[in-house]
Amino acid sequence: MSTHGLGWFPDAVSKNSFKVFRDDWGCNAMRLAMYIEESWGGSESLYLAQPDKNYKLVTEGVDACIDLGMYVIVDWHILNPGDPNNHTAEAKDFFDKLSKKYANCPNIIYEICNEPNSGPDWNRVKTYANAVIPVIRANDPDAIIVCGTPTWSQDIDRALSSPLDYSNVVYALHFYANTHTDWLRDRLKNCYNSGLPVLVTEYGTCDASGNGGFNTDQTKKWLDLMDRLNIGYFNWSFCNKGETASAFKGGTNLSNISAGESQLTESGKLIRKLYRKRAGLS
Ligand code: IDC
């Protein structure tokens, strides 16, 4: 399960709630989304405005997952700006501190840029990755690193034709079920069949806007395919914001969610049901 932006929803960093995802949903991994800045209002709570506070929040989330025996993705969420090179220095500092602290910890996975968008081509993304990956590698030679791909992490074919020159790197594919359908599943199958390592670090059950277009059939098609290919996936989002992608109803206390369906939205109910089935819980 992926959190929403932790700068806005810090209560989602909760061992109690992560335990519900582990035990009641059958999840083995959480993703901590750390927006670095935002083009519209409200940026004061995001990473670049308050790095120390937000770094601490991320480490609390990582520690909770380690205690629970779960994997945890730390996501440097660059929806804005879409070019990760705008903040390479800050990213290097962030991942240096984290990978020193968690050196050789098998739980943690580093997602160095979630979704390059609005301009940067794959070569620009590679420039950024080639600056940040060595920083992590100096502290942790083996940790899994996820690299986003252009067009909001849809262009994994670009990574296939020109991969990064590091081991244990996987490429992010993101989809929103009502927007990205057969054509993107076909791309995933082609890249997978050619040997590209892929992780779906974010997907939604609805429109790419995160609101409207809840689509059960397309969500099931995607989950069936990813299960068949044994590709991991993280649902956007563990949140109570009033939008279709949220798994929890408005007003839910994110720091202490309940097992069962009572707090869940339509999207939350579908995902929990499919996850429980896959985990053999029902
Ligand atoms: C959306 C949130 C929404 C927020 C918006 C802008 O759901 O509440 O207002 O971002 O910050 C992505 C992004 C992810 C988006 C999501 C839905 O990674 O940040 O979240 N989405 O639009 N890529 C494709 C879709």
Task: Give the distance (Å) from ligand 1 centre to CA of residue 210.
Answer: 6
What does the pLDDT profile of the chain (282 residues) look like in tens digits? 999 999 999 999 999 999 999 999 999 999 999 999 987 656 789 999 999 999 999 999 999 999 999 999 999 999 999 999 999 999 999 999 999 999 989 999 999 999 999 999 999 999 999 999 999 999 999 999 999 999 999 999 999 999 999 999 999 999 999 999 999 999 999 999 999 999 999 999 999 999 999 999 999 999 999 999 999 999 999 999 999 999 999 999 999 999 999 999 999 999 999 999 999 998
97 burial (CB, 10 Å; 0-12 / 13-18 / 19+) is middle
Q: Give the list of residues 6+ apart from residue 56 with CB closer than 8 angstroms, or none.
A: none
Q: Which residues lie across from 109 on neighbouring strands?
A: 73, 144
The answer to whether 250 and 268 are in contact (CB under 8 A) is: no
Q: How far is the CA of 13 from the centre of ligand 1 (A)?
A: 19
User: What are the structural domain ranges in the chain?
Assistant: 2-278
- pTM: predicted TM-score of the whole model, two decimal places: 0.98
36 exposed, middle or buried (CB, 10 Å; 0-12, 13-18, 19+)? Answer: buried
Asked whether 94 and 55 are in contact (CB, 8 A), the reply is yes
Q: How far apart are CA 98 and CA 223, in angstroms?
A: 31
Measured CA to CA, the distance from residue 58 to residue 61 in angstroms comes to: 5
Residue in 60, 115, 243, 261 annotated catalytic: 115
The pick from 36, 202, 236 for probing ligand 1's pocket by mutation, whose C-beta has the most ligand atoms within 8 angstroms, reads 236
Closest atom of ligand 1 to 38 CA is 11
Work out the burial of residue 119: count CB atoms within 10 Å of its CB; fewer than 13 is exposed, 13-18 middle, 19 or more buried: exposed
CATH of 2-278 given 3.20.20.80, 4.10.320.10, 3.40.50.970, 2.40.50.140: 3.20.20.80
Active site residue 202: yes
